[in-house]
Structure 1
Amino acid sequence: MLIGPYVNGAAVIVGGLIGALAGHKIPLRVKTALPLTFGLCSVGLGINLVIKVKYMPAVVLAMVLGAVIGELIFLEKGIGKAAGSTRGIVNKYLPRVHGLSHEEFTEKFVAILVLFCASGTGIFGAMHEGMTGDPSILYIKTVLDLFTAGIFATMLGYAVITIGIPLIIIQV
């Protein structure tokens, strides 16, 4: 049974909740430094995993085809619409985030939705666990996502917790 996607999704929800609740207490310098650190960790993990790839042409082809298909079906526009409706639903039941226009919120939300749900680490980690039963790659992503969700929730509020749901669906 797969466990990694559920642990990863739960980490995004918990991190988003903590970030939304305690966001005003986290210094700006920490909010700035941590995403850079997470990016560096992801790059290092990616380099390590790419070195182990046996069929790199297939990986490149999949990336090119994915980009072309995404552009042809206007995937980003659809995600943007979903982000806008998510903000409306979240604002209805939870405290609002002030300081961001609708366009700024949508732009940032789409970026982090793609970051969490369409990352190479997440897709590869889910496939790796499905084929081998080893969730270790998703566990690494879980640690990064817990803190990343917290940092982004300091800007976007409770909407970040909603990303846990599509994350689980995509990884399962």
Structure 2
Amino acid sequence: MIGMGTIINTAAIIIGGLFGRFFGGFLKERHQNTLNMACGICVLFIGIAGAMEGMLTIDGNKLVGGHSMLVIGCLAVGALVGEMINLEDRFEKFGEWLKVRTGNAKDKKFVEGFVTASLTVCIGAMAIVGAIQDGILGDYSILTTKAVLDLIIIMVMTCSMGKGCIFSAIPVAIFQGTITGLAAFIEPIMTETALANLSLIGSVLIFCVGLNLVWGKKVRVANLLPSIVIAVICAFLPF
């Protein structure tokens, strides 16, 4: 069944969030703060690992760096576009609307949890490649693997950041469901180079999410999301 991968992924996020909500109730505030810090450090290293994989190659007996200009160019242009559209503000307004509509108006952590969790589980090549495979071949193996990872991530995040994290299931369902529906149109664009670029820039953005978790909100990550589109476009430029 086409779309099953997104259904499984969405369900896994909800289940992970519910488990996190249940166990989080037994934790003291200092435990939640430490868990939030630990989660942030994990996200940082996931981002670093992905970025280094895309930027470093082995040449003989030494590591050689590359793609620096790609990262600089994509982030600079993407940030400019994102600030003009102000995606961060739109994301937060949607979070505020959700908070009120779901009866969580008094939850001060709701919007932060929703935005942070949504960015963590939506950014990355697995979401796009898995959704395309699901849409064209009906193969949802990649999204099933992602679902297991997301379940664990959202469970931990919900323990420390609250129930807003559970609602990250909504943007995941919309984002991956849309890609699955448009898979036939998107697949030709997702060349090997485009996917490599997307994975690299996506990893940098995941690092930024981790940075915000550890040191407080320093980077408006949602406003950097257009960088991913720029990264794919760069794969077709003659340089």
Matching residue within 139, 145, 165 for 2:150: 145
Residue 124 (structure 1) aligned to one of 116, 129, 135: 129
Post-superposition Cα deviations, 1:133-165, rounded to whole Å, max 9, x if no partner, equal 322221221111101111121233332222212
Does the Cα contact within 8 Å between 2:99 and 2:105 map onto a contact in 1?
Answer: no
Alignment RMSD, CA only?
3.5
Find the counterpart in structure 1 of residue 116 from structure 2: 111
Q: What percent of counterpart residues are identical?
A: 28
Deviation, 1:38, is 6.0
Give TM-score scaled by structure 1 length. Answer: 0.68
| Unmatched runs of 5 consecutive residues or more in structure 2 | 56-66, 178-239
The alpha-carbon deviation at position 66 of structure 1 amounts to 5.8
Identify which range, 36-45 or 116-125, moves more after superposition: 36-45
Q: Secondary structure at the match of 1:25?
A: coil
Residues 122 and 171 of structure 2 are in contact (CA less than 8 Å); yes or no, is this contact kept in structure 1?
yes
Q: Does 1:12 align with 2:13?
A: yes
Aligned residues between the structures:
157
Provide Cα deviations, 1:95-145, integer angstroms capped at 9, x if missing partner: 964xx4xxx643343222222233332123212332343222212211111
Distance change (3 Å), C-alpha of 1:117 and 1:72: same
* Unaligned 5+ runs, structure 1: 51-56
Q: Work out which of the two has the higher radius of gyration on C-alpha atoms and give 1 or 2.
A: 2
Stretch deviating more after TM superposition (24-33 or 75-84): 24-33
What amino acid maps onto 2:91 in structure 1?
I
Write the distance in 2 (CA, Å) between the matches of 1:49 and 1:142. 23
Structure that is richer in helix per residue: 1
* Contact in 1 for aligned 2:118/2:168 (Cα 8 Å): yes
